[in-house]
Each structure stands twice: as structure tokens, then as C-alpha cells.
Amino acid sequence: MALIVQKYGGTSVGSPERIQHVAEKVMAARQRGDDVVVVVSAMSGETDRLVGLAHKLDPRPEPRELDVLLSTGEQVTIALLSIALQKLGCAARSYTGAQVRILTDNAFNKARIRDIDETAVRKDLGAGRVVVVAGFQGVDEDGNITTLGRGGSDTTAVALAAALKADECQIYTDVDGVYTTDPRVVPQARRLARITFEEMLEMASLGSKVLQIRSVEFAGKYNVPLRVLSSFQEGEGTLISFEESQMEQPVISGIAFNRDEAKITVVGVPDQPGVAYGILGPIANANIEVDMIVQNVAADATTDFTFTVHRRDYSQALDILRDVAIGMGARELSGDNKIVKISIVGVGMRSHAGIASKMFQTLSKEGINIRMISTSEIKVSVVVDEKYLELGVRALHDAFELERAPK
């Protein structure tokens, strides 16, 4: 008998019929003998409806009151799912974030969980009940309702699983797992049976938007095995857990890519201390997030400084740097917003040499020019022209034999 935390997102509970379907899935887990805690989001569309009502009164509603408003979305779902479960003859009890006492700080709209009191939940589980918890919400020390920000239901599920020392935290979504790459680009892409937290973090931050990064970090921190599954089809999904050294790891697990990048180069700045800060300081002050950063030292005591930003921030970043570049004595400011980033990710890189050069060779064979390179312990990222995205990803998927399941 295991203790399982299951999380169902807005699409999975988007109508009474779908809630009924979720109740049947929960019931099936109970009948396998597992204790089940279910975390649910608001029904799809509900949060937008509520925000719409608030915006009719104030385009920038007061954050405390917005949380009072938005938290009703999940509260509706916990009640409906509990009603559906009981109708099936499955004892169940709903909890709002405040009722569990999911204690958060008081940063309304983006609160962080500080502590979870699992007493009441444990008591209900002990009495044979399914416990249904509202995701995305908590309560601060003064009893104010808080929300964790969009997508926060995943975090609630993982935090509850950690507090309850659950055997597994299952995230039900509209995809059936994590793939070696986007199947829309590579039809042979394969569902991964398992992946490590680190790989998942690299995949997630690179655009595989299956899970909220924050919940993966959380799961890793508290060592909660996380499983991504589809709420609409049967299957084992993908288990995200810590690397197990006894296992034969594949060299690389997946290929992530990001179409939203743009790059900016400050050419020929004097190679002296303070250059990086001089360039990136004004960018950070404008709240523009920087992704890759590359600096090469040239022979003539000047350097080229290149970084990438989200495409929507591209022209603002260029505007900011025009004066900065002149002030620094740079030769030129150049940019390109028709680029993409492709990354190979895998913990196997740690113990295998030559992975990066195999990547470069593969791209070179296809005539794809590499514009930037950046590496970390478990990934290699390259920036290439936008038009090469599909060709590059397919060639790499093939070269690393990702369509074949590891032995």
C-alpha cells in the first residue's frame, strides 16, 4: 500500500464530465489499495473569467483581494470532485489551502509555501478517506488567503507529497509524459520512462513546458519522485527522480529547443574589468532576462560580448545598449532575432567524453553554422539560424539514437 499524491490540472477538471472521469481514476487507485491525496486546479477558463470580472472594476486589482477572488476557482473544484467521489461510494473530504493550513509568506499573487500542517490530512487518510486539496493557494500567518501564482497547483502537490513523505507525486496533464524532443518536430520522438530532476530542469527551462520549473526544483529538493501522466489516456508516463548510479544511463536523454531567442553582440569593447557588468547592468535594471552569455577574448585587447534575450525584449535591449556601447568605446552593436537555441541534455555526459564534438560534427554535416555555444555539466546548447531548427533537431535525434529505448 502506497501513499500517492495526484494532481489534476484545469483541463482535466474542465467540466462535470471530466471531473467524473477524474473521480473514476482516483477510485481506481483506491481500489488498488493506495492512500490518495488529490490536488486540483480551477476548472479551465475559470481563473480567466474571475480575472476578467476583477479587471472590469480595476485593471490593477489590489493583490490581497485578487487572491480572495482567484482562490474560489480551486474551491469549486475540490467540492465538485468530492461530491463525485462520494457519489461513487468513495469516502472523500475537501480542503481549501487555509483548511489544510498550507502556510505561505504574504506575497499575494506569488506566495511561497513555508510550512504544511499535515495532521488533518493524515487523520482523514487514516479514516479511509480520499483527501481533495485545493491547489495554488494557502494562507499567511494573519489568516489572509494567498495564491502561489499561475501553475502553482503543481507546487502544492509536490509540497504536500514532501510533507506527507508520499511514495509518488503524480502530475496528470494533457500529455502522456516527457519526450526525447517535441514530437511535432521529430515524429520518432520517444516517451522517456524516466528522467532525472536535473535533466528535467534543463528540459523545462529550455521549453518543454510539461511541468512548472518550481515544482521540479521543489521535488528534487525534498526527493519526491514525480511522475507525469496523461489524464486522458492510460500509460506509465515519465518518472522524474534522482539519478540511480546502478542504472545504465543513456548518454543523452533529450533534445530541447527554444524558438523565442534573440541575440545581441557588443563588438570590440576594450577587454577590461567591468565590461560584463557595464553591459548587463542596464539590461537587468530594465527587468529583461538574459539567457546565454558568451565572451571571447580577441588578439587586439578588445573583446566581443554576446548574450541572448527573449525576442519580445529584443528591440528594448538594443535601444538600451546603443548609448552604453558608445560610452564603453565599443566598435559596433549588432543583433539578430532570427535565431534559435538547440540543446542536448543528459546526465550521461558527465561520464562520456566527446558528446559536444559529436553534436558539432552532426550539425556541420548538415551544413548548419553554429553561432554561439554554451555548456553546462549536463547540457550543450548551440545557437543557430532559425531556419535550421527542424533540420538540426532531427539530425541530432538521429545521431544520438534517441528513438531507441535504452537497454
Between 101 and 214, name the residue whose CB sits nearer to its own copies.
101
Helix orientation angle between 152-163 and 213-221, rounded to the nearest 10 degrees: 10
Exactly one of 86, 106, 109, 374 binds its own copies (CB under 8 A); that residue is 86
Q: How many residues does the chain have?
A: 407
Instruction: Identify which range of 82-90, 111-119, 161-169, 254-262 contacts its own copies by CB under 8 A.
Output: 82-90
Residue 35's Cβ-count burial label (10 Å; 0-12, 13-18, 19+) is buried
Q: Which residues pair with 264 in a beta bridge?
A: 307, 335
Instruction: Identify which range of 87-95, 235-243, 352-360, 394-402 contacts its own copies by CB under 8 A.
Output: 87-95
- Please, what is the minimum distance in Å from the beta carbon of residue 53 to its own copies? 6
Q: Which residues contact 352 (CB under 8 A, 6 or more apart)?
A: 251
393 near its own copies, rule: CB under 8 A: no
72 near its own copies, rule: CB under 8 A: yes
d(CA 116, CA 144): 16
* CA count, 13 A, side-chain hemisphere, 297: 5
State the binding string over 3-42 for its own copies (x if CB under 8 A, else -): -------------xx-xx----------------------
d(CA 255, CA 81): 37
Interface with its own copies: number of residues (CB under 8 A): 36
Exactly one of 29, 51, 76, 333 binds its own copies (CB under 8 A); that residue is 76
Between 82 and 362, name the residue whose CB sits nearer to its own copies.
82
- Please, what is the minimum distance in Å from the beta carbon of residue 16 to its own copies? 4
d(CA 349, CA 404): 18
Instruction: Identify which range of 30-38, 76-84, 168-176, 251-259 contacts its own copies by CB under 8 A.
Output: 76-84
Contact in structure between 78 and 94 (CB atoms under 8 Å): yes
Q: Is the dihedral of CA 381, 385, 389, 390 positive or negative?
A: negative
Cell of residue 135, nine digits = 491547489
Exactly one of 29, 69, 185, 399 binds its own copies (CB under 8 A); that residue is 69
Instruction: Identify which range of 88-96, 168-176, 288-296, 329-337 contacts its own copies by CB under 8 A.
Output: 88-96
Between 56 and 407, name the residue whose CB sits nearer to its own copies.
56
Instruction: Identify which range of 95-103, 220-228, 244-252, 374-382 contacts its own copies by CB under 8 A.
Output: 95-103
For 370-381, the DSSP string reads P-EEEEETTEEE
- Please, what is the minimum distance in Å from the beta carbon of residue 44 to its own copies? 14
d(CA 285, CA 281): 6
What Cα–Cα distance (Å) separates residue 159 from each residue in 144, 224, 327, 352? 20, 9, 49, 35
121 near its own copies, rule: CB under 8 A: no
Between 65 and 271, name the residue whose CB sits nearer to its own copies.
65
Indicate the SS3 state at residue 355: helix
Exactly one of 41, 82, 249, 337 binds its own copies (CB under 8 A); that residue is 82
Q: Which residues of the chain form contacts with its own copies (CB under 8 A)?
A: 16-17, 19-20, 50, 53-54, 56-58, 61-62, 64-66, 68-69, 71-72, 75-76, 78-80, 82-84, 86-87, 93-94, 96, 98-99, 143, 145
